[in-house]
Amino acid sequence: MKPLAIVAYLLLLAPALLLAAVVWQYVAVNKMFYCWDSVGVPGDFIPPFVHAARDPRDHYISAPWMVHLLWLVHLGIALTLPRFTVASVSRIFITIKSRRG
């Protein structure tokens, strides 16, 4: 990867992770697990999701493995989306540059 592509990836990574945290808030929080001391976006995106040892009110609504699998999918998309965006934009600029001569 070129240095400019690395910088672009890192710049796009923060918004991608924030977007994943917002989606996580709507998809999983209070639907797949309940955490009494929820801190909101982006804090609820960071495991552990349930603190049952500290607070007995915390519990999983769905199976814990399902919550963690869905979280891994969200994280994977958030880490990969900027890479594909940088690659696509890079290809577009290379194509434009090659057509100009």
Q: What is the pLDDT of residue 101?
A: 64
Q: Which residues of the chain have pLDDT under 70?
A: 1, 101
Q: Which domain holds residue 41?
A: 3-100
Q: What is the pLDDT of residue 98?
A: 83
Q: What is the pLDDT of residue 30?
A: 94
Closest residue by Cα to residue 21 from 3, 46, 1, 4 = 46
- Which residues pair with residue 34 across a beta bridge? 59
Number of domains, the chain: 1
Q: What is the pLDDT of residue 59?
A: 94
